[in-house]
Amino acid sequence: MSRKEAMAAQLSERRHADLDILRRAVTAGGQLAATLQSTQPRAWRKADGTMVSEADLAVDRLLGERLRQARPDYGWWSEESGYVPPRERAPVWLVDPIDGTRSYLKGRADWCVAGALLEDGRPVLAAVAEPESGSLFWAMRGEGAYRDGEALHVSNRRELAQARAFADRGRLARKAAWRQPWPPLRHHSIGSFILRLARIAAGEADLLLSFTPKAPWDIAPGQLLVEEAGGVLRGTPEAPLRFVHEEESGQAAEPKDDHPAAAAGPVVLYAAPASLIPALKAQLAIPDPAGD
């Protein structure tokens, strides 16, 4: 075995071990959150206007203990407890302790506990626990996406008409915002943004349109699920998404909607099967450069 092959084998072994650590952590976090949900945990509004609860913080502590103790050289980036840079060029754990906090506080089922591992700002591992269904989603870059051990595949839809969509009906109905009216869609609703992406990955929905910027922890876990299941998740502008904390890059990590490609409508993120992308780009008036 050559030195290059030996290094690749070592990396693969490390990634599989990291995936096991991540899956165990989000599963435990989901179990804790489900237990706390029935206690009606205290909640309040953060400075940015989003909701947080005692349960979010408890799950955040659990994830931090599990992940940071297992890999003390890795970085840590959480919606609730901030950012700790990695040692040298180690990967970064990125977590959302409870995605869909509003649904969670209402006693609903459409929330999850999620995490990803970032290398050079891109997710290489992801795990998402959906406690209500008992499902665990996970993905590894280059090795596919799975739900409870079964491989996930996006749908093969090619036409927008009657696509199963997560999108703001009101925004789509504003005819002045679009070069052409939207065809009829079958609208779905789920509180958790990450679970919406998981449904795309599982072929249970066809399209997601987001009209407001999302944080890295909202995007990265679901992004890897979608991409490894054969789908596409992009932001406007069309450059590949990277999640690098502003301490490292000097720039905010959230995708922005100030690019000319968004002029036809304020879409910041879109996710869909690769087969649907040509029709979607035509509707959004997004250029399709050669080789894309």
Indicate whether 157 belongs to any domain.
no
- In 3-state terms the chain splits into helix, strand, coil percentages (rounded to 5) of 35, 25, 40
pLDDT at 135: 98
Would you state the pLDDT for residue 201?
99
My answer on whether 98 and 121 are in the same domain is: yes
In a domain, 199, yes or no: yes
Task: Match 């690749």 to its residue by tokens.
Answer: 8
Give the model confidence (pLDDT) of 212-239 as tens digits: 889 999 999 999 999 999 999 998 767 6
Q: How far apart, in Å, do the first and last CA atoms of the chain sit?
A: 36
| CB 85 within 8 Å of CB 72 | no
- Domain span at residue 214 reads 164-284
Bridge partners (DSSP) listed for residue 235 = 269
What does the alpha-carbon distance between residue 158 and residue 168 come to, in Å, rounded to a whole number? 21
pLDDT in tens, 137-152: 999 999 999 999 999 9
Co-location of 125 and 61 in the same domain: yes
Is 9 within the bounds of a domain? yes
30 sits in which H/E element: helix 3-37
Q: Answer yes or no: do 33 and 146 share one domain.
A: yes
Which stretch of DSSP H or E encloses residue 53? strand 51-53
| Count of the separate structural domains present in the chain | 2
Question: Residue 209 corresponds to which tokens in the numbers above?
Answer: 């349109």
Do residues 185 and 160 make contact, with C-beta atoms less than 8 angstroms apart?
yes
**By the 8 A CB rule, do 116 and 198 touch?**
no
Q: What is the pLDDT of residue 179?
A: 83
Convert the pLDDT of each residue in 240-280 to its tens digit.
Answer: 788 998 877 644 444 333 322 222 345 789 999 999 999 99
| 158 within a domain of the structure (yes/no) | no
